[in-house]
Amino acid sequence: MIPVRGFEGRTVAVFGLARTGLTAARALILGGAKVVVWDEKAESRAAAEAEGLDLQDLSTADWSQFAALMLSPGVPLTHPTPHWTVEKAKAAGVEILGDVELFARTVNAAPDHKRPKIVAITGTNGKSTTTALIGHICAAAGRDVRVGGNIGQGVLGLEDMHGGAVYVLELSSYQLDLTSSLKPDVALLLNVSPDHLDRHGGMEGYVGAKRRILLNQGKGDTAVIGVDDPWGQRICTEITAANRRTIVPISASKAMGRGVYVLQGLLYDATGERAVEVADLLRARSLPGRHNWQNAAAAYAAVRGLGLTSQEAADGLMSFPGLAHRMETVGAVGKVRFVNDSKATNADAARQAMSSYPKFYWIAGGVPKAGGIDSLGDLFPRIEKAYLIGEAQDDFAATLEGKAKLAKCGTLPAAVAAAYADAAASGHDAVVLLSPACASFDQFADFEARGEAFREAVLGLSRPTAKGARA
């Protein structure tokens, strides 16, 4: 764990006691701060109390005692309306911080010889795969790497820092909204498309949150920016004009005079005097499809920015084992293969998986994002049949009506059973794809829980019953 510096002897309020909040509370205490915690959920308060944390109802607390409010990223900061803790903190002049900002201040206060390297990754899609991929390449090259943030372990729960460490951090727009002093050695902005617009007051607010990852970079730092979407192109042009750092554009769809790009599966490094082919991504079994080619280009550019050789980077790409819940084959029953893409929480992310298969049986639904699945219309002819679940099933059914066969299944286990029955009855090799294009919170705690439920349902198909038949 990383002891948080800068609040020794002062009191910090922590609101939101899920993984991020609890980890931040422990790290603050370890660094010498006094900490009071609160959550609106009784079960979360009970878990904190069982750990010996100091519960204090922040709705009735004297806010003049607090040096800062550590706010969990899931709590609304500005939109749709500020949370009541935010209003109270602002009224009392109390600074509002997130766990990534606590980490950043701790790093910035460390002596130069103890400061680690930081790679920070954001974007609408591909963050988790790219983060895991960079971590894998660094580890394979013998670096002391720690991977966390919005993936796996919260940043403050990672092993304490030293000068030779590399922190590879996935950062969401929610986390970036609460971060102001992070200075990444390598910052990656993979892509930008509409998402979480209700939490940011529209597209400009969302883009502004993503851009914060580039906020404090200077001479000697590297910015890796995807230019396959209009927002990325615009941001790359704007910061290139500022000319304060090394800028590496990346693309999975076009050759560039400068940058890192992929054409027909071949990865090229054009950061030098000429473009050099460095890897054949068609041989990288865990990086299929154009979206993964963008992830690979980004990871390659990032580790080169850290000083790894081109060969070390290419070798790491080839040996990457893949990421759970992102186009992960979780099993097969007969000729039917089941692919877990639960991480696809919006239509743009689902497009990436759907584009990888000529035909598939599609499980989709949950809490819909703005725009639903209208943007996926060009892929509807690939759908053998759709199996719809959760809050979105009626809206998705209306969008698909007359364009693809569909069934309203309500729950994930029901959808898996129905999809398997139809796929098996076809007699052909078939793919059942869970790529929900939705958040998971109507039926699951998070996308990981949804993916594990899918895995369990698939395993259930092949378990023998008491009489020896398949379940």
Q: What type of residue is 407?
A: A
**Was 78 annotated as part of a binding site?**
no
The token pair at 226 is: 């995807």
Q: Please classify residue 295 by burial: count the beta carbons closer than 10 Å to its beta carbon, then call 0-12 exposed, 13-18 middle and 19+ buried.
A: buried
Q: What's the CA gap between 210 and 121, in Å, rounded?
A: 10
The token pair at 200 is: 């940011």
Question: Please, what is the Cα angle at 65 between 63 and 71, to 5 degrees?
Answer: 60
Contact 422, 428 (CB under 8 A): no
**Was 465 annotated as part of a binding site?**
no
Q: Annotated active-site positions, please?
A: 127, 150, 196
Using the structure block, give the residue that is written with the tokens 């390449």: 137
Q: Which residues are bridge partners to 250 per DSSP?
A: 226, 260
Strand order in the sheet with 144-149: 144-149, 165-170, 117-122, 186-189, 222-226, 246-251, 259-263, 266-270, 276-280
Classify strands 438-439 and 367-368 as parallel, antiparallel or unpaired: antiparallel
**Was 426 annotated as part of a binding site?**
no
**Was 127 annotated as part of a binding site?**
yes
3-state SS assignment for residue 245: coil
Contact 317, 296 (CB under 8 A): yes
Angstrom CA distances, 290 to 136, 170, 328, stand at: 20, 21, 16
- Cis amide linkage into residue 3, ω under 30° from 0: no
**Was 331 annotated as part of a binding site?**
no
Q: How many CB atoms lie within 10 A of CB 163?
A: 13
Angstrom CA distances, 265 to 174, 277, 420, stand at: 33, 11, 32
Q: What type of residue is 289?
A: G
**Was 125 annotated as part of a binding site?**
yes
3-state helix, strand, coil in the chain (%, to 5): 40, 25, 40
**Was 129 annotated as part of a binding site?**
yes
Nearest to 343 by CA among 254, 255, 449: 449
Residue ranges of the annotated binding site for ATP are: 123-129
Residue ranges of the annotated binding site are: 123-129
